[in-house]
């Protein structure tokens, strides 16, 4: 029997410090250390994020190895997020991974965070069960920093066919939430209030953007003016209408996303459709995608909640596929804040 491939994955691109062990494509552990420190600032503070990563990284890696039940000496390679992300945050993960590889004399594998979000669909559970999309498929990757439509040709072949020209979908959620006085990250809170609201009470326009690209900055501005106008007339407007406002904002963001995803499917003829990234945890988006499956004969793929937001499982699975291709990097590698998929 050939030797098992055991990957330690490290993720530190934004405000989550995470480590995961994947053995032959099956996930054995996925530990995430969240950073509460940013809540009161209404967004991630880069300097505080890198300091928190420094504090978290060793305990998080230790816990991931312990929970997996494997022996540290059996790890075949270490995969880490090279970018895109916050440079100071990335540097913590990159430096740790390099030292770990050197100390244990194992190969080092650099991973693109956006590819990781997409390949999270290929993570199998401990028993080997999973539901990966079939190639080629389209993936709508929606996170706090990115909004992209990617044509995925195989595990390591990606064509970026559409992206945002300004804010990301996650930013649209978070910035709208901030206008409503909600703490960071506001996306999950908008989702929560929207569940009890009517999405058609307030309407916000859909931007006209070329090709398969997106724009969310206009939506943010129209929400800002709408809130200003309404609270001038009724200072309690937000509190009295929170559910309907959140449902209407969420509805508008989902409409913008779905319109372009529908266009991408029509233009490419691809009906295998996946979503990925933090915003794919949104219940409204998940429901709408399932509705599209019926109305458009799509085959849709939604990752489990734990693989939507940033986690090292998605980095470990990408590193696993690169390991199979002997696609390693050396110690001269550095973090890269800006990278395309
Ligand atoms: O992928 P992710 O964890 O980090 C980045 O790579 O950016 O995505 C974080 C984003 C945040 O903007 C957060 O508000 C959003 O995902 N998010 C949600 C939900 N859960 C997380 N947005 C809407 N509804 C949710 N349930
Ligand atoms: Zn992410």
pTM: 0.95
56 lines ligand 1 (CB under 6 A): no
pLDDT in tens, 227-276: 999 999 999 999 999 999 999 999 999 999 999 999 999 999 999 999 99
Task: List Cβ neighbours of 269 (8 Å cut-off, separation of 6 or more).
Answer: none
Distance, CA 80 to ligand 1 centroid (Å)?
Answer: 21
pLDDT grade for 1, boundaries at 50, 70 and 90: low
* Residue-level pLDDT at 198: 98
- SS3 percent helix, strand, coil of the chain, rounded to 5, is 45, 20, 35
Give φ, ψ of 112 to 5 degrees: -85, 120
- What pLDDT sits at residue 216? 96
Which segment of 19-28, 42-51, 151-160 scores lowest on mean pLDDT? 42-51
User: Is the CB of residue 282 below 6 angstroms from any atom belonging to ligand 1?
Assistant: yes
Ligand 1 mean position, distance from CA 277 (Å): 7
In whole angstroms, what is the distance from residue 162 CA to residue 164 CA?
Answer: 7
Which residue's CA is the nearest one to ligand 1's atom 23?
187
Residue 144 Cα to ligand 2 midpoint, Å, equals 7
- Among 37-51, 78-92, 205-219, which stretch is predicted with the lowest mean pLDDT? 37-51
**Amino acid 38: pLDDT:** 77
Cβ 120 under 6 angstroms from ligand 1: no
d(CA 142, ligand 1 centre) in Å: 8
Question: What are the chain's domains?
Answer: 6-131+307-324 (3.30.420.40), 137-305 (3.30.420.40)
CB 144 within 8 A of CB 278: yes
Q: State the pLDDT confidence band at 286, using cuts at 50, 70 and 90.
A: very high
The CB of 310 under 6 Å from ligand 1? The reply is yes
Ligand 1 mutation pick, 143, 182, 184, 253, max ligand atoms within 8 A of CB: 143
Pocket of ligand 1, candidates 84, 173, 314: which has the most ligand atoms within 8 Å of its Cβ, to mutate? 173
Give residue 114 CA to ligand 2 midpoint distance, Å.
7
Ligand 1 centroid to residue 278 C-alpha, Å: 3
CA distances for 338 relative to 90, 93, 145, 335, angstroms: 11, 16, 11, 9
For 9-24, what is each residue's pLDDT tens digit? Answer: 999 999 899 999 999 9
């Amino acid at each position: 029997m050939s030797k098992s491939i055991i990957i330690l994955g490290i993720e530190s691109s934004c405000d989550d410090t995470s480590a995961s062990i994947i053995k032959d494509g099956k996930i054995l552990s996925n530990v995430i250390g969240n950073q509460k420190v940013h809540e009161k600032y209404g967004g991630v503070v880069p300097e505080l994020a890198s300091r928190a990563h420094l504090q978290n990284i060793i305990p998080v890696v230790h816990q991931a190895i312990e929970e997996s039940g494997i022996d540290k000496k059996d790890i075949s390679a270490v995969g880490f997020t090279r970018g895109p992300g916050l440079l100071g945050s990335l540097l913590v993960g990159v430096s740790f991974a390099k030292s770990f590889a050197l100390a244990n004399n194992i190969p080092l594998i650099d991973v693109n965070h956006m590819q990781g979000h997409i390949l999270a669909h290929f993570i199998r559970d401990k028993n080997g069960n999973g539901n990966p999309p079939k190639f080629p498929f389209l993936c709508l990757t929606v996170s706090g920093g990115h909004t992209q439509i990617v044509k995925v040709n195989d595990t390591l072949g990606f064509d970026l066919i559409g992206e945002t020209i300004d804010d990301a979908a996650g930013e649209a959620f978070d910035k709208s939430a901030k206008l409503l006085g909600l703490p960071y990250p506001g996306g999950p809170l908008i989702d929560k209030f929207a569940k009890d609201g009517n999405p058609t009470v307030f309407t916000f326009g859909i931007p006209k953007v070329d090709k398969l690209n997106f724009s969310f900055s206009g939506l943010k501005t129209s929400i800002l003016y709408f809130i200003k106008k309404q609270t001038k007339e009724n200072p309690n407007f937000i509190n009295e209408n929170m559910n309907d406002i959140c449902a209407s904002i969420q509805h508008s963001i989902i409409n913008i996303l779905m319109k372009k995803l529908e266009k991408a499917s029509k233009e490419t003829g691809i009906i295998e459709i996946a979503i990925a990234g933090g915003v794919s945890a949104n219940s409204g988006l998940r429901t709408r995608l399932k509705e599209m499956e019926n109305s458009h004969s799509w085959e849709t793929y939604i990752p489990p909640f734990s693989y939507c937001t940033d986690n090292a499982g998605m980095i470990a699975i990408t590193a696993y596929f690169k390991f199979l291709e002997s696609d390693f990097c050396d110690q001269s590698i550095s973090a890269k804040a800006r990278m395309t998929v």
